[in-house]
Structure 1
């Protein structure tokens, strides 16, 4: 079965063609495109198939992961002048089965395609077959999802867990909450656990006289030249900038604490999967003990948290693979 999958964002789009046979997914081609360089998704797909030599290939099904609410097979993407319509794409490309799926759901389905090399395990735990899985991923925002198994397959249950209230666990985090409330009134956990969240923490550190450090001009320049969150994490890891290091330490503390909260709420004996674009870039910080200390700091329930496997997902194409697996499932119905 030949399957087309895509991860369509307001800035960039990844497209993939894969073969699905006997439960195994084999990637044949994948490529990245600038989303707003095209007038619609079908034109982009046609160019992809032509450039990869698959323009004559029969495609059995397609699934596109999108960031936005899907209403009756239609999604309007932020920052793009065009929408994605299942029926219109199916007709223009001549593909019988075309589906849209939320981008974080696609990541969830992609966990079934992960190999050992795609994971960095922080805690082996005591896994149970077909048990609940939990996903948490800081990136542009904070995604949270659960996965349940009916005895044959997993189903992803999306949530808006990134928008729950931020609950501080120490004095510094209390100060951070007060700082952000002066600007935002309500502070969700996404305000501190995301790319923008790391920036918010860094600004809090810079504005806090207790740290007694002057903000680095070199880092200021880097934040204007590149993605600011990436600059902060890079200066923390490579340059050992003291303010960037403190900001990243707080970020990791918060990440671990929220993963622990998710574990208590879902009892994920099938594993906690740390996904999103940030985790692989700060792997050394997530593995230095700080994340796990915050994760397990749950008082009387701390010992229970030792049972749940914790994996950092290193595969940046997991969403594409998940969309392909979902296409296979949709075509079989």
Structure 2
């Protein structure tokens, strides 16, 4: 049996998969609030305490850079060590991979109805593919073909320097510098990033904040509040913030495609995508995605799809463990 995990700053989902000749089959899963646990091992213990299955392989997609089987998670105070997990839980083979690598492997398993295409393009079946995901942070990864299989290239591209495209975004860059020192794309393209955009526009005089919104933000996830109100068209400032978010998201998605020459397509993953799907579909994302000057014609040929199955990273981690049992992988 395979133990797999999708380990994020907000939630951690663990699952048991059966390894079959044709692939993997999910048998059971459970989701935990990451911040309620002091370590990854305590989450694993809670999940496995009543399980009698024998796990021979495990793979965990983790939100952070992985070095030599270890990861200090970016948005959690956890140190995850594959060797320690192997010893503590008696699992012979344990793998750690970046969460966007897991999402990339999961994208290869998707059915057609689990993708909403923003641009059909002209897919190249042998071309590289790119994955971008805004959530608690911003993740990016690339799939490239190696023989009969695809392999992933890990990335921390979300922490690259934010590059403004307009006079408004130049002011945004200066705002981010003043607040954070370094201005990365993650400071804009994430749940906290959407709140940063909202605060920037509010301070810039783009609109006031009604008490009904500020009161909700004190009790609920501010990014979720902004998105919900914007999609309903109930507040100009929220609408403006989400519009700016999606435009920058499209631009950075295009940057990732160009850097990885992802002629096989761009997949948009992450917890935010399905929640703001109507906005992603209104043309704002694709307009910014295509706006690459002399390479705009190429960008119109790239398929762009939103992953609707939020369990794709979990399945992708399990698929990675499954493939690592194949000497040809």
**TM beyond 0.5:** yes
The Cα of 1:34 is off from its aligned counterpart by 3.9
Are 1:87 and 2:83 matched, yes or no? yes
State whether residues 86 and 100 of structure 1, in contact with CA within 8 Å, keep that contact through their aligned partners in structure 2.
yes
- Look up the match of 1:269: 263
Q: Which segment is superposed worse, 174-183 or 303-312? A: 174-183
Are 1:297 and 2:296 matched, yes or no? no
Q: 230, 233, 236: which one pairs with 2:227?
A: 233
State whether residues 41 and 89 of structure 1, in contact with CA within 8 Å, keep that contact through their aligned partners in structure 2.
no
Distance 1:80 1:290 in 2: 32
- Higher-Rg structure is 1
The Cα of 1:24 is off from its aligned counterpart by 2.9
TM-score (ref. length: structure 1):
0.90
TM-score (ref. length: structure 2):
0.91
State whether residues 25 and 113 of structure 1, in contact with CA within 8 Å, keep that contact through their aligned partners in structure 2.
no
Q: 107, 128, 134: which one pairs with 1:132?
A: 128
Q: 215, 238, 245: which one pairs with 2:239?
A: 245
- Look up the match of 1:141: 137
Q: 217, 223, 234: which one pairs with 2:211?
A: 217
Distance 1:104 1:166 in 2: 20
Structure 1, gaps ≥5 residues long: none
Distance 1:23 1:130 in 2: 22
RMSD, matched Cα: 2.2
Distance 2:118 2:263 in 1: 14
Distance 1:78 1:170 in 2: 30
5 Å-filtered alignment, 1:303-318, equals 303-318=297-312
- Look up the match of 1:320: 314
The Cα of 1:325 is off from its aligned counterpart by 0.7
* Structure-2 change in CA distance of 1:319 and 1:222 (3 Å): same
Distance 1:260 1:39 in 2: 38
* Structure-2 change in CA distance of 1:126 and 1:22 (3 Å): farther
The Cα of 1:146 is off from its aligned counterpart by 1.2
The Cα of 1:183 is off from its aligned counterpart by 2.6
Are 1:107 and 2:100 matched, yes or no? no
The Cα of 1:174 is off from its aligned counterpart by 2.2
State whether residues 97 and 331 of structure 1, in contact with CA within 8 Å, keep that contact through their aligned partners in structure 2.
no
Deviations 1:103-136 (A, max 9, x none): 2211111112211122111111111222100111
Q: Which segment is superposed worse, 261-270 or 129-138? A: 261-270
State whether residues 42 and 93 of structure 1, in contact with CA within 8 Å, keep that contact through their aligned partners in structure 2.
no
* Structure-2 change in CA distance of 1:261 and 1:220 (3 Å): same
SS of residue in 2 equivalent to 1:332? coil
Are 1:18 and 2:17 matched, yes or no? yes
Distance 1:305 1:36 in 2: 39
Distance 1:41 1:199 in 2: 28
* Structure-2 change in CA distance of 1:35 and 1:250 (3 Å): closer
State whether residues 65 and 156 of structure 2, in contact with CA within 8 Å, keep that contact through their aligned partners in structure 1.
no
Distance 1:77 1:148 in 2: 25
Distance 1:80 1:163 in 2: 16
Are 1:192 and 2:188 matched, yes or no? yes
